[in-house]
Chains A and B, each alone.
Chain A
Amino acid sequence: EVQLVESGGGLVKPGGSLRLSCAASGFIFSDAWMNWVRQAPGKGLEWVGRIRSNSDGGTTDYAAPAKGRFTISRDDSKNTLYLQMNSLKSEDTAMYYCARRNGFDIWGQGTMVTVSS
């Protein structure tokens, strides 16, 4: 079964850091471009960024709110995608999803990040 499972969310103070993980199974993870998408409570969907497959350079792209604060990485040996979030702000409070490919054909169940003092 093709599956993505996020973990690592929680409560963090403004200015703090958090690392999210997304464990993939059921497909060749190393071939996949992977994305992070977030959804603030009661709001719509917002793309955070992507990482290309290593065969396509392994490069990353970010939406403006994430640039300079968030870093996407991958460990193909562990079939795992990461999102390192630094200098967190209250407006980063959201459910964070990982999703496969630019067309987001497979989504994880999400992990909740709450930034609050």
Chain B
Amino acid sequence: DIQMTQSPSSLSASVGDRVTITCRASQGVSNHLAWFQQKPGKAPKSLIYAASSLQSGVPSKFSGSGYGTDFTLIISSLQPEDFATYYCQQYNSDPLTFGGGTKVEI
């Protein structure tokens, strides 16, 4: 199984900050990497697919990059609605696996 390791597991940030979350795969996943946002009590929401493609309707303050084993999600200017938990996920090979999550707190 491909292990997905996110760092940090949590971070504290302020409104307006630039936030960077990293995700490392235990083996190469090409660009088959997605990012999700989850708020408490809600279903996850897709932000990024194919490592760097923004889902329709997702604001451009979110961006993704990377290929192979190392990936990054950047939130360019953190807003109050962005405080949530973020997950990466590889869909290159079965079983599909998720990172452990990064909780972004005020």
Q: Is the CB of A106 within 8 A of B91?
A: no
Q: Is the CB of A45 within 8 A of B43?
A: no
Question: Smallest distance from the beta carbon of B92 to chain A beta carbons, Å?
Answer: 9
With A104-B36, A107-B45 known to touch, is A45 a contact of B87 (CB < 8 Å)? Answer: yes
Which residues in chain B, 49-75, are within 8 Å of chain A measured between CB atoms? 49-50, 55
Chain A hits for B80, CB < 8 A: none
Query: For the complex, what is the distance from the CA of A60 to the CA of B96, rounded to whole Å?
Result: 13
Chain A hits for B49, CB < 8 A: 103, 105
Q: Is the CB of A102 within 8 A of B91?
A: yes
Q: Is the CB of B95 within 8 A of A107?
A: no
Q: Is the CB of B98 within 8 A of A107?
A: no
Q: Is the CB of A44 within 8 A of B95?
A: no
Chain A hits for B87, CB < 8 A: 44-45
Encode contact with A along B11-23: 1 for CB under 8 Å, 0 otherwise: 0000000000000
Contacts A46-B98, A107-B44, A109-B42 supplied; 12 other A-B pairs, CB < 8 Å: A45-B36, A45-B87, A45-B101, A47-B98, A61-B94, A63-B95, A97-B43, A97-B44, A103-B50, A105-B46, A105-B49, A109-B43
Q: Which residues of A contact B (CB under 8 A)?
A: 35, 44-47, 50, 61, 63-64, 97, 102-110
27 A-B pairs within 8 Å (CB atoms) are namely A35-B96, A44-B98, A44-B100, A45-B89, A45-B98, A46-B98, A47-B95, A47-B98, A61-B94, A102-B32, A102-B91, A102-B96, A103-B34, A103-B46, A103-B49, A103-B91, A104-B34, A104-B36, A104-B89, A105-B46, A105-B49, A106-B46, A107-B44, A107-B46, A108-B43, A109-B42, A109-B43
